[in-house]
Structure 1
Amino acid sequence: MTDRLSDKAAAKQELLRKLQARPGADDPAVIARAAERKAIAEARVARAAEKAAAEERARIETAAREAAEQAEREREAERAEQERIDREAALEEAKKRARDERYAARKAAKR
């Protein structure tokens, strides 16, 4: 039983010794590690901000490209509609000329 108690006391003393041997907050190594962690955190924030800005630029470029494509499709649709209207007008004009020629031919045949 005394062996267990002495082992327990020795382990407790060893743990206390380790904790007391730990460097304090004013130790240069601790300060350097804290500064390094702070620099890493700041770099992480900067990368996140840069990534967000890049994503925003990509969204803006995509929206602009889609708007330009939509405008081009609308212009193409208007051009196609105008061509269709012009073809119909030309067809109607050709039909009218043919009808007028037939009418003139009938009139000439009656004389």
Structure 2
Amino acid sequence: MAIYREKDFSERRNAADEARKALLERFKAKPAADDPAVLAKRAERKAILEARALREAEKLKQKQERLAREAAEKAASEAAEEAARLEAEIQAAADAKIREAEENERIARLLADEAERKAKRDARYAARKSRSGRAPPGFSAR
């Protein structure tokens, strides 16, 4: 059975020193800026960045084309809607004129019927008064 043993200060300090040394060795092992591998890697990154810039430019161009196409379609649909709305307004105005003319005709018929009934009523009244022999004041039967 293993017994847990706590590390003392010197062991911890030695471990930290070794870690620092390993870090320093890794830093020293890095190639110089003029190393062919570093130059190749830098060229590869540059090519990737250029390709990315080209792709982004193409995406931007496609987006602008799509937005222009959508704007043109929207303008066309709005023009069609406006034309349909104007046509509907013209049709509604024509229908309103027809309804107004029909209403005026109906009112004229009602007034004519009312005048005809009044004339018949007055004629009956005048005939009745003329049979009785006396006319009301201000009324002359002809």
TM-score w.r.t. length of structure 2: 0.59
What is the aligned partner in structure 1 of residue 31 from structure 2? Answer: 13
- The 2-side partners of 1:19 and 1:54 are apart by 52
- Map 1:2-41 onto structure 2 (within 5 A): 2-10=21-29, 12-13=30-31, 20-21=39-40, 22-23=42-43, 35-41=54-60
Cα RMSD for the two superposed structures: 3.2
Residue 68, structure 1, aligned to residue 87, structure 2? yes
2:43 partner letter: P
- The 2-side partners of 1:101 and 1:4 are apart by 125
What is the aligned partner in structure 1 of residue 114 from structure 2? Answer: 95
- The 2-side partners of 1:79 and 1:14 are apart by 94
* Higher deviation after alignment, 13-22 or 66-75: 13-22
Residue 46, structure 1, aligned to residue 46, structure 2? no
Unaligned runs of 5+ in 2: 1-19, 132-142
1:62 partner letter: E
State the shift of 1:16 in Å.
7.9
- The 2-side partners of 1:74 and 1:45 are apart by 43
TM-score w.r.t. length of structure 1: 0.72
State the shift of 1:78 in Å.
2.0
- The 2-side partners of 1:98 and 1:47 are apart by 75
What is the aligned partner in structure 2 of residue 77 from structure 1? Answer: 96
Percent identity between matched residues is 21
Alignment: residue pair count: 108
